[in-house]
Amino acid sequence: MLKIPSHQVAGHHASNGTRGPLVDDSGRFYKPLKGDERGSSEVTSYKQLSSNAKVPDHICTFFPIYYGTKVMNASDGSEHPHIVLEDLTSNRENPTIMDVKIGSRTWGLEASDEYIAKCLKRDRETTSVQLGFRISGLQIYINEEVGFYKPARDLVLKSSLDDVRLLFKKFVSSGPFEETVLGPDRGWASLVYGGPNGILAQLLELKAWFEDQTIYHFCACSLLFMFEKELALEGGSPNAQVKIIDFVHVTEGRGVIDHNFLGGLCSLIKFISEVVGDHEDHITQDGDAQ
Amino acid sequence: MLKIPSHQVAGHHASNGTRGPLVDDSGRFYKPLKGDERGSSEVTSYKQLSSNAKVPDHICTFFPIYYGTKVMNASDGSEHPHIVLEDLTSNRENPTIMDVKIGSRTWGLEASDEYIAKCLKRDRETTSVQLGFRISGLQIYINEEVGFYKPARDLVLKSSLDDVRLLFKKFVSSGPFEETVLGPDRGWASLVYGGPNGILAQLLELKAWFEDQTIYHFCACSLLFMFEKELALEGGSPNAQVKIIDFVHVTEGRGVIDHNFLGGLCSLIKFISEVVGDHEDHITQDGDAQ
């Protein structure tokens, strides 16, 4: 029972006549392999990352599980090889999701001049050069009545510095973005971003590894943030999770740290810390005012 | 008594008929102001950095002292405005010096397409894109007989990844680079790079600030490493010091951390840690062999 993923927020989409990712009922995600060397490079990266003993266990949990490759009926009806991965949202109801492409540079050292020019243009037009990352896509679950807020890809990519700040606040807003003087209420900031299992703690764990590891460079990869508002409403943990995805441009580190990923990651950590900090200041101010 | 600096390892040099930096006997360094907006931008940066109360004192010590500007006889004989700065080497005899330009990107967001293309070409041809920094120049004091090892600028800029590793070892070599199986002996690594006042400790102090500060972006700036071998030979501290120089392209941070500088700085820290670590392993191995 293959179907088009419900919760994909960035990347190529499948539709009738267009080849794109598929999911099944058993929690697997099928991503069509690119025909050129990018396809084989992606397979190599997933294979290596899932089997390299030098990558510590607590870091491996940031990668989607890799199940191999499979030639199968693609979404456009053709026979085509796919990478088989863990479907990261299969166990989630109405997940709120954000895809953040990390790095101020999304082209690799060995890329052609033409490819570099194309990436550089995109990196300059989006926030990548300025912030060291860009939001590639997101969906925010509002409630049963309204469903999801899922802005169009082009709109998301046009985000300015201030738009990005706002999106990080909206991402953890508890209602349909009723704005206070200080912006969206950020009701879930402490639970989702903060705390020992929050997104910030997971990013700091990644940071510590990236400060030291010189095995791989994660060029043009994304961090995926996910959580479930409804779990939090029921008084449980929102199950906030960070994953690294899109390994097409993962390369060997040759003894050098991935300063491009690390720089962007530190910038992202600073942004999210400020949303948590502002929110806590906000709570304190309200408390004082009572 | 103005003269051409003896210990300049990178940047424009003064000579008869060419305008370049000068020093005097009182410990001041006179840098000719660029005529276009870069000149005024550099003055603004030095002024702001030396007076901004938000920059903590222990960080201000990384900047050369700024004394203002002065119209004076330039090295080419013309009347020209100069920035007046602290001469960082005036109190040092035979300093060993390295100039490391930080950042995988040396162009700013507002630069013209032409300027970006020029910088990008240089960043790709040198180690900047790959390592997040490049060595722009160096001089290593060998001894009274030999004097300095000071490779030509073009040669330094052509350094590969392995050349950079070797230069960081040569920089702290105790002799005229007698090579062991493991490369130059790195006799001063622990004293110069390591220890509570070493270069590594100073870089980590900078790193902590750059992880948090969003006031300035230090685009195309250099870190200058300096120490005196002779002081160490006499049994004292080698007086290892790190300074940040070249503020032409310092811009406002607009609430974003300088991920480009931070990434390069982390990469540099990793390189230097490995020289210290390898050296200590080396000593331990020798010890075991006895």
Show me where the domains of chain A are located.
22-86, 96-289
A270 with B256: Cβ contact below 8 A: yes
**Does B253 contact A at CB distance below 8 Å?**
no
Among B103, B158, B114, which Cα is nearest to A105's?
B103
For domain A96-289, the CATH class is alpha beta
Give one DSSP letter per residue of chain B, joined into a string: --B--SS--SS---BTTB---EE-TTSEEEEEPPSSHHHHHHHHHHHHHHH-TTS-HHHHTTSPPEEEEEEEE-TTSSEEEEEEEE-TTTT-SS-EEEEEEE-S--S-TT--HHHHHHHHHHHHHSSHHHHSEEEEEEEEEEETTTEEE---HHHHHT--HHHHHHHHHHHT-SSS--EETTEE--TTHHHHTSSTTSHHHHHHHHHHHHTT--SEEETT-EEEEEE-HHHHHTTS----EEEEE--TTEEE-TT---HHHHHHHHHHHHHHHHHHHHHHHHHHHHHHH-
Distance CA A48, CA A247 (A): 11
pLDDT above 90: residue B39 = no
Distance (Å) from the C-alpha of residue B249 to the closest C-alpha of chain A?
A: 15
Range in A159-173, B94-108, B115-129, B173-187 the model is least confident about: B173-187
Distance (Å) from the C-alpha of residue B186 to the closest C-alpha of chain A?
A: 19
Instruction: Considering only the beta carbons, identify the residue of A109, A124, A262 that sits closest to B263.
Output: A262
Chain A hits for B130, CB-CB cut-off 8 Å, are 109, 256
pLDDT above 90: residue B179 = no
Report residue B289's pLDDT band, with 50, 70 and 90 as the boundaries.
Answer: very low
Distance CA A201, CA A288 (A): 28
**Does B252 contact A at CB distance below 8 Å?**
no
pLDDT in tens, chain A (290 residues): 899 998 999 888 887 778 999 999 999 999 999 888 888 899 999 999 999 999 999 999 999 999 999 999 998 889 999 999 999 999 999 999 999 999 999 999 999 999 999 999 999 999 999 999 999 999 999 999 989 999 999 999 999 999 999 999 999 998 776 666 666 778 899 999 999 999 999 999 999 999 999 999 999 999 999 999 999 889 899 999 999 999 999 999 999 999 999 999 999 999 999 999 876 666 665 544 33
Instruction: Considering only the beta carbons, identify the residue of B109, B129, B212 that sits closest to A109.
Output: B129
**Does A104 contact B at CB distance below 8 Å?**
yes
B266 with A260: Cβ contact below 8 A: no
Distance (Å) from the C-alpha of residue A73 to the closest C-alpha of chain B?
A: 40
**Does B215 contact A at CB distance below 8 Å?**
no
Q: Which residue of A has its CA nearest to B212?
A: A270
